[in-house]
Structure 1
Amino acid sequence: MVSAKSHVQELERVGRGDPSGRDTPVLQSWLRCLNDYRLDPTQAQEAYILPETELKEHRDEAEELIRIGRSAVEGLFRHVQDQAYVLLLSDARGVTVDFMGDPTFDNQLRRAGLYLGSEWSEHRAGTCAVGACIVSGEPVIIHQDDHFDTSHIGLTCTAAPIYDTLGDLTAVLDISQLRSPTAKASQQLAMHLVATTARRIELSNLMARTRNDWILRLSRSPDFLDVDPEAAISIDASGRISGMTHGGFRALARTLDLGDGVMRSLVGERISRFLDIDVDDLPKLMRGQPDGERVLRTRSSAALFASAIAPVERLRGTPVPAPRVPRVLRELSFGDPAMEAVQLRASKLVGRDIPICIQGETGAGKEYLARAIHDSHPDAGRFVAVNCAAIPESLIESELFGYAPGAFTGAAPRGKQGLIEAADGGTLFLDEIGDMPLGLQARLLRVLAEGEVTPVGAHRPRPVRFRLISASHHRLEALVESGRFRQDLYFRLNAATLSLPPLRERRDLDGLIDHMLRRVAQEHGAPLRLSAAARRSLKAHPWPGNLRELANALRVAAAFSDDGEIGPDDLPEQLSRPKAETPPMRNRPGLEIFDQLAACGGNVSELARRLGVDRSTVHRRLRRLSAG
């Protein structure tokens, strides 16, 4: 094993751009640690174990995945425990939420961070298998002095990602040793075992979450197709993809030469777009059918062996019902009862010729719900959204109804199709319908009553047929009473009402924050982590702007964050922060932090512990004061 001094010297050479024989994933991670996270290789850091209260929050969020993956995880541990491996299941933030190891070595494992509650995010622990896997999304071996921090260079760690059914990285499976054989090649078998187990967990998760759908298992060889397929796809009763394992995404991506990061765009597509099969053909691929008949062709003519599992209800001998709530509607909630009730009501309206009116505060997600209802329709057509409050009153008539050639001065020579006509065969979404001028309300009423639209300056109406969804943050009945909204139009629009709860009343705020943070990280082009203090600030805010305000707050915080970790200082100023939760460092005169650091012998981790903040927060404050 190399000395700490020579290891630091190698890191410094890599930081200067000197060549190195290290694997590419290791070098990329080292450069992130040096350039993005500003970690100091000369300062060895002890492993960080979360306090019990914070660990409980992480374990509660991961509870279902822990349960679903338990059998596969225990099976893997039985294979490797005789070689003194420990097994860590980490969530997407790098926190170990499940752990298996030899209890006789508990103290050593805890000191090394190979323990329940340890955090292995890259920005905190430096280059490590869990952290590098979270960033890259790929299996990785970090062996001995591949680790960035000198306190970890005796370890060998091998990790593989676990993706959810929609393509988001949801967990990391890792096996590690305190001491290991010298050669890194000795860990190739460990990588195979971890990657195979992660694939099995993804399959179990897919089957657990899509019990009303068909499961299509795929492999390039028939040998282990029924017990350990390479990929799996869930297909609903209408023949559309409702979810998949990461291997399933890659199988479909190869058929269309798609790049990375487009898994969500495949969900909702018909399986027949990718494979030479439809939902009615799936029974022919069930176990027990001749192997020679269980072969599929992709649209690019490649052959795959396939095995189908019928929905649970069908296996029990009852008819297969359509899913109660389409997947695109289920994605709008992370466990809030009020939202689940809205989702269920909305699912019953899909495919029916019933006007829907969505009520909710500004930013509560009215257009998201409208799009989800539209996307749940088997033949959705085009979704045309019109913000009635955003179009100037002088233009709204021509925008909505279009105009004939030469209808007015400055009109396009060929005329223009209106937004109502553009929605023919699809969905017309009229947002903020309460702000539509009274004169246009009468014309819209005529369109709805007669099923035809007459462009400005035209003499003949044109037939149109569309599904109508309207939305307003006003109570339309109150506008009717005040004379600002036509009562006859109100009754046309308000056949079915869906009321969205404001964000401050929702019980799934943690899930929403994590979901939006992943989206912002994709936009940002770099991994993001929310500190516990920042999360508490977000949860304490009343959110008058609802989901829109939350999304904007996270985008602002991502821009202000220096090292990929969002702390309270990175959040917008208007967010309320309870004084009891404010890091003690904020109440001290700024320059005293240098005296405090000296009192800790220059140990940033020790100072962070004394102040009750994250190490990255201390680094950020030191840099800002030094620069000022």
Structure 2
Amino acid sequence: MLRRGIERRATYPPCPFHRRHALTQRSANPPAVGRPDVIAQAHARSLELGLRASEMPDFHPLRRPALRELVDRNQSLYTHALPVMETLHAQIVDTQSMVLLTDNHGVILHSLGDSDFVEKANRVALCPGVSWAEADRGTNAIGTALVDGQPTVVHAGEHFLHANRILTCSCAPIADPFGRTIGALDVSGDTRGFHKHTLALVRMSAQMIENHLFSNQFVDAIRVHFHARAEFIGTLFEGLAAFAPDGTFLSANRSALFQFGQPLAELQRQPFDALFGIAFSRVLQQITRAPGETILLTLPSGVRVVARGEHTAPRYVGPAESLDTSRAPLPGGARQTPRPAEPAPLATLETLDTGDAQVAAILRRVAKLRGRDIPILVLGKTGTGKEWLARAIHHDSPRRAAPFVALNCASLPDTLIEAELFGYEDGAFTGAKKRGSVGKIVQADGGTLFLDEIGDMPLAQQVRLMRVLQERTVVPLGATRAIPVDLRIVCATHRNLRAMIEDGTFREDLYYRINGLVVTLPALRERTDLHALVTRMLALQPDGERLPRRVSAEVLERFAQCRWPGNLRQLANVLRTASIMAEGAQQIELDDLPDDFLQDCVDAAAEQSVQSPLARAGSGVDDEARAAAQTQGQGQQPPSGKMEAWQASLIAQTLERLDGNVSAAARELGLARNTVYRYLRRGGTTH
């Protein structure tokens, strides 16, 4: 170990650990976070590098001049990380742990720790100037996270070196505004203080640093803050995209990349209107005319997002500011709750009845439970209006004056759902806010709790929820006293819960607790009230804008041809975009519709032209029948067996011919991409 310390000092500068880092990178095969072989692969790399588990820690950190030079080289990272580290340390104080910042090779640049833990950390050389790359320390959270490029937890005996097994470490890489890893943020502490929520807190802090770096990099650019939910604008979870004054795409943060569903290199080849469904000039006008106001934009996926454009210098988080992500600082100003683009329309059972017989029957059944706290389970595909129905149920009940609290179980990582739903006491886990936090269940006391995508709730939380529903009490994390609650529960999912019960991924006892009444919302293409829905949605547009309140006959005819895979959500997005394009006109014309939507309609019309008479007979024809009709139109004969086997064979052949390109296969077959993905997920069968 002494030899390695001398070698490190001798080779620095210019790059003290480049050779070992490169070797580690060459030997790495980055796995996905959470796979059981992450630690095993890291140990294999440690052995390959010639390390021995019994080696003692290297007590030869960089000398002060060399460390100072290394910090200078990472000045931007260092400057933007310090206030976040101080905030993070304030959150974990008195937990026998410390916060560490490293460069992209795993050399510690700065540390903040509890005085009672610093001595223990020094015994394993957990201090500035020391390399914690895998090549020097073997398997550890810092080195392994940098190799894998993923947030990592290494707990106790999972460390390669025996000396480091007194630690539990949670680390997240930090990327610059162009996606390049430039460092890592880590919380290391005594193994007895381990809690699974620590990694989530570290990830959030790393993302905060990335957002600060992003704002600083593009201080002179036009920045667009966006998210599908208005309340997330101005929080840590918002998407950030930067554009040059001429509309050229510059970069986007992690949240934006996730929402776009495309890599950075692909986004850099697309114009602004292709990314947000609106001309760049309109956004510039909005920023100039009403700075700080939000607008509605449409992503390439058809998802509508609330957005705020800005062209002002950023303000960074100070050391005293909290990591409370529900009220995180706005990059351009003080903390505030963002004002939505428009007030949410009041949903009642009456307003949801727009003439479709299936929907009317559902509303009549639900209305019979008015005033009775029978749980309701709403089924239906994504975008069919499940939350609208839940809000209407709440509004038309005696609980209407109490809170309506919604939680999307698919929008939070597993490690945060428990704290978000059940709440926690002060000090319940590393990173818990002072004074604790009431959960969604307590917030909904007296009112209605809406659990969207209940099928995505982890099994452990299903057990706790079951106990709440049985006992009508909730015990927050870290608490000993049960809190009584009085609430009505409405759940929703697009999943097949019965199939999940058979697979062991959803609890049967919980299923029978939440399905007092089960209703299934129809897909938009199966409804007969399209014209009424269009009229209703246009009528809800803000009065202050000169937007049309009707569509032309040609547009309505084109709407009738569409498959509407995104259902009501897609319809709302198309109408909003078209309304903006037709601003000042009396009605929406074909030219106002988004190009990609018009192409989908053309594809749907072409598909219908080759369908068999049987397939054309009903408006509710499903994708499987369409695939069969398409093959007949191409002169192919179905193989023997059932329709689904025929479709599976056709999809497999098409995917093979198109080198696995799902989008191209879906277009050629006239199917929704979800159908092709469902085929792939289920191992080659569509059912």
Q: Same fold (TM over 0.5)?
A: no
TM-score range, shorter chain: 0.3 to 0.5
